[in-house]
Structure 1
Amino acid sequence: LQIIIYFEFLTRNELGDKLPLLLSAEIMGRYSNVILINQSTNKIIDTIKHVGMDQNRYRTLLPGATYRQPPTQNKENPFEQDSNTFEELIQKYPNREVLADNLLKQYQGISRDNALALADKLHASNNYVQAFNDFLAMTENPIPTMNSNNFSIFTDNPNDKKFSTLSEMLDVFYHTKANRDRVQQQGGQLLHVIRKNLQRNKKKLKKLSNELKATENADEYRIKGEVLTTYLYQIKRGMTKITLPNFYDNNKEITISLSNQLSPSQNAQKYFKKYQKLKNAVTFVNEQIELTKKEVAYLEEIQTQIELATPADLDDIKTELQQEGYIKKKQQKS
């Protein structure tokens, strides 16, 4: 897309002489610029973006340099179209995106979004010239329209918002953008708190799950304790292990580790205590797992709310997080 709009002004210099000025607004994507030119000398007074010879040998845009227009792109004027061209393009490029790309290359003053809209109209019509003319007619009485991403005058989406004037649309756009930027800044701080707590709780949940899994072996400790109690007479102090028949498993042999510092009965009691500890832990661990899952669900819900929030919503969310203890309240100095 290459659009250049010239604004002519007449002012006076320091001596009071008339000074004709030309303001060139060049809309060319990332090469866009605004240039103020002294018309009597064709010298650049200043530009929004300075471009030196090391950046562009064809066109230097610096104060004092001679103003040159951007190089022509050798594109056709869309208002002087040839009907045969449309048929050739549509037949050659039936794909929407490819047709749009070639419309961009073929015609002046058409942006990517407009090219896509034109491609849709051409594909939907049997009268290509009429479809193109209808498309161009929309530029004579444009209806400023805004969707979630950008502006357009070519849209049939009922969800897009239409405005009576361009200024009204821009006011809404930049107001919305300012709110969005504020949300991103403030929301980013809140999201950091949420993600930090989510990470901590998910680690806790994993640890609790491992603890719960360990309690599944509680009966093994009870069985070992009972086997040791039954065969206490075979155990000698100082032994580190013993193999005994397991009457809970058809008297298959079971090897039990012992502490050489404990008596036979103390070794048996050690296994009973371990069993009781794991058994008591089941209830506690299950309660903690349930509480942690609820907290994770709560934090994930808050995270979603932050991502969709308005600035006013963020204040409420921040207050809630302070009340829940996730954020410390700032103490007022007395």
Structure 2
Amino acid sequence: MLYLDGVSISKVKDELKSCLQSKRVGKIFQNSTLSLSLHFGKTSLFFSCSPSLPICYINEDREENFLEENSNFLMILRKYLINAALTDIEQLGFDRILKFHFSKLNELGEMKDYFLYFEIMGKYSNIILTDSENKIISLLKKFSLEENSLRVLFPEAEYVQPVVEEKINPLEIKKNIFEEYLKENKISQKIEGLGKRTVEFIHSYEDLKKILNDNISPKIYFKDDVPVFAAVLNIEPKNWDSVKEYKSFSEMVNTYIKMCSLSNSYTLLKGKLISAVEKEKKKTLKITANIEKDIVTMSDHEKYKNLGDILASVLYSVKRGDKSVKAYDFYENKEIVIPLDPLLNPQGNLNKIYKKSSKMKRGLEISRERLVSFKQRISYLESVLAFIEKSSDLKGLKNIEDELTEEKILKVKGKSQKNKNKKKENDNYGTMIIDEKTIYFGRNNKENDFLTFKFAKRDDIWFHVKDIPGSHFIVKKEDFSQEESFIEKVALCAAFYSKAVAGDKVVVEYTEKKNLNKPKGAPLGFVTYNTAKTITVIVPKKLEL
């Protein structure tokens, strides 16, 4: 949890102001429908209006652009703010609203002022550009009356703050009034900018003054090495076992976002990949269901062959124009009536039935082959979803994006994929150390394929969870140990990097690479084998080698 109440934002504002004041905007990019970045030389100020993490901070990493074309809002921002100087940053009281002041010379040589409001309000978070008279020029998100009945924002209207309950500015409250609110347990209800967690650390008027006057104190708190709470005030979560301090809010946020895989680019790309794969999987499942129906229908081909045999036995009695003929079914030992086409002669009717039987038989063979292929496709797509979930950084997702583009699940965006630089061989797989031995594993199906069929030698040992999508693991022959503890460690890694859920009991198979085969036309990462040893392990929550 990244904790930002009004008091926290006041300290963030001071930090941003000291870093950016008087600098000019050089470039503006809109990274998604909910985010944008202002570039002051090499310094990037990133804004996100994502409901899960509305925030602005100095971003260390370049955010990816996921918009197919520039939005109207971006074009307007560039028109008014490119080459504008940031003259001030203020907070509206202790509300979660920051107001960025910009000045710029227009075409007539006149100095014009503009304001950029950043409202940090959950799903209603927004970025609003106004002129010096607070008349709205444009805004990132437009809400209808149904979505937000309290306030309607649109170009040419005057910007007004959201309607909130009137509270006392914490810098102005008198000690006796504060103590009265403290007794009534109404501090957060009556005093502006104090979040619930902050209030838990205020037991006196002096505590309030200390929190207001303390320097910014960015910290991330951990429980079992997992970040559970990040704040800039001297407050802490209820359950933690370690803490790390940072020099600045921006350093803390960049670290926290990387640790929690919350970066805008990461989150957007992950969602995009999952959506594309789920869509392809749904389409493939539909095709598979239709093929299975066809197989049921075409399994009756023997019935039509038998019908042809029966008709052949009475063909001498059939004449052109007959609509049916009675015959004895010597397969079922009963009398039947065979429908005929009166426009065909006797031999034509017989050929029609035999042709239908042959066509259904050929169709059955083709459908069974297609069913195998599409089931392999479903398995492949499920493995891609598993790899997406396991990818903890943007680079891993980008590699999966490349794979899906090559597989034509995603459309090629921008320049042709052929123009991309070839990856170095050691970028084609992940590595880890087990008992001082280097173990190799695939982080996506493309890497699985490369690792197993190009990198591994005949006698190297291959590990994989049985019947569950996941990473291929390769142990070089000279590094493989028959000791059960070593085999178990590799198996635990294979289980961890699979679709299996922590706590599940799974079977991991291992065999020499020479026992593996890749069927012609099989999807990336697909292998077959006839012999393998097994070991059963419990999928770990985290790897501790």
How far the C-alpha of 1:267 sits from its partner, in A, is: 2.1
Code of the residue aligned with 1:155 in structure 2: it is P
How far the C-alpha of 1:223 sits from its partner, in A, is: 3.0
Aligned to 1:127: none
Quick check: 1:144–1:166 contact (8 Å CA) kept in 2? no
Quick check: 2:295–2:364 contact (8 Å CA) kept in 1? yes
How far the C-alpha of 1:276 sits from its partner, in A, is: 3.3
Q: Does 1:295 align with 2:377?
A: yes
Q: Secondary structure at the match of 1:109?
A: coil
Aligned to 2:349: 267
Q: Secondary structure at the match of 1:242?
A: strand
Deviation per residue, 1:206-246 (Å, 9 max, x gap): 33122112123223312321221222233112323334444
CA distance in 2, matches of 1:23, 1:319: 41
CA distance in 1, matches of 2:387, 2:203: 46
Aligned to 1:81: 179
Code of the residue aligned with 2:192 in structure 1: it is Q
Unpaired stretches in structure 2, ≥5 consecutive residues: 19-86, 103-112, 118-129, 137-156, 421-545
Q: Figure out how many residues of one structure are paired with residues of the other and give that number.
A: 272
CA distance in 2, matches of 1:259, 1:78: 102
Q: Secondary structure at the match of 2:325?
A: strand
Aligned to 1:317: 400
The sequence identity of aligned pairs, in percent, is 17
Quick check: 1:2–1:26 contact (8 Å CA) kept in 2? no
Code of the residue aligned with 1:275 in structure 2: it is S
Code of the residue aligned with 1:33 in structure 2: it is K
Query: Greater Rg, structure 1 or structure 2?
Result: 1
1:219 to 277, 288, 302: 302
Unpaired stretches in structure 1, ≥5 consecutive residues: 10-20, 37-44, 59-69, 87-101, 122-130
Structure number with higher strand proportion: 2
Q: Secondary structure at the match of 2:92?
A: strand
Aligned to 1:96: none
How far the C-alpha of 1:286 sits from its partner, in A, is: 1.9
Code of the residue aligned with 1:219 in structure 2: it is E
Code of the residue aligned with 2:315 in structure 1: it is L
Structure number with higher helix proportion: 1
Code of the residue aligned with 2:189 in structure 1: it is K
CA distance in 2, matches of 1:175, 1:313: 13
CA distance in 1, matches of 2:293, 2:6: 64
Aligned to 2:99: 33
Deviation per residue, 1:115-168 (Å, 9 max, x gap): 1x479x6xxxxxxxxx7539x589469562378798434313449974344433
Code of the residue aligned with 1:242 in structure 2: it is V
Matches within 5 A, 1:126-275: 133=203, 139=211, 144-145=219-220, 151-152=230-231, 153-158=235-240, 162-167=244-249, 168-173=251-256, 180-183=263-266, 194=277, 197-254=280-337, 256-275=338-357
Q: Secondary structure at the match of 2:184?
A: helix
Code of the residue aligned with 1:144 in structure 2: it is K
TM, length-normalised to structure 2: 0.39
TM, length-normalised to structure 1: 0.59
CA distance in 2, matches of 1:186, 1:221: 53
Distance 1:161 1:299, change over 3 A: farther
Distance 1:176 1:132, change over 3 A: closer
The root-mean-square deviation of aligned C-alpha atoms, in Å, is: 4.9
Question: Which fold has the larger relative contact order, with Cα–Cα distance below 8 Å and residues 6 or more apart in sequence?
Answer: 1
Deviation per residue, 1:234-260 (Å, 9 max, x gap): 311232333444444452433x33233
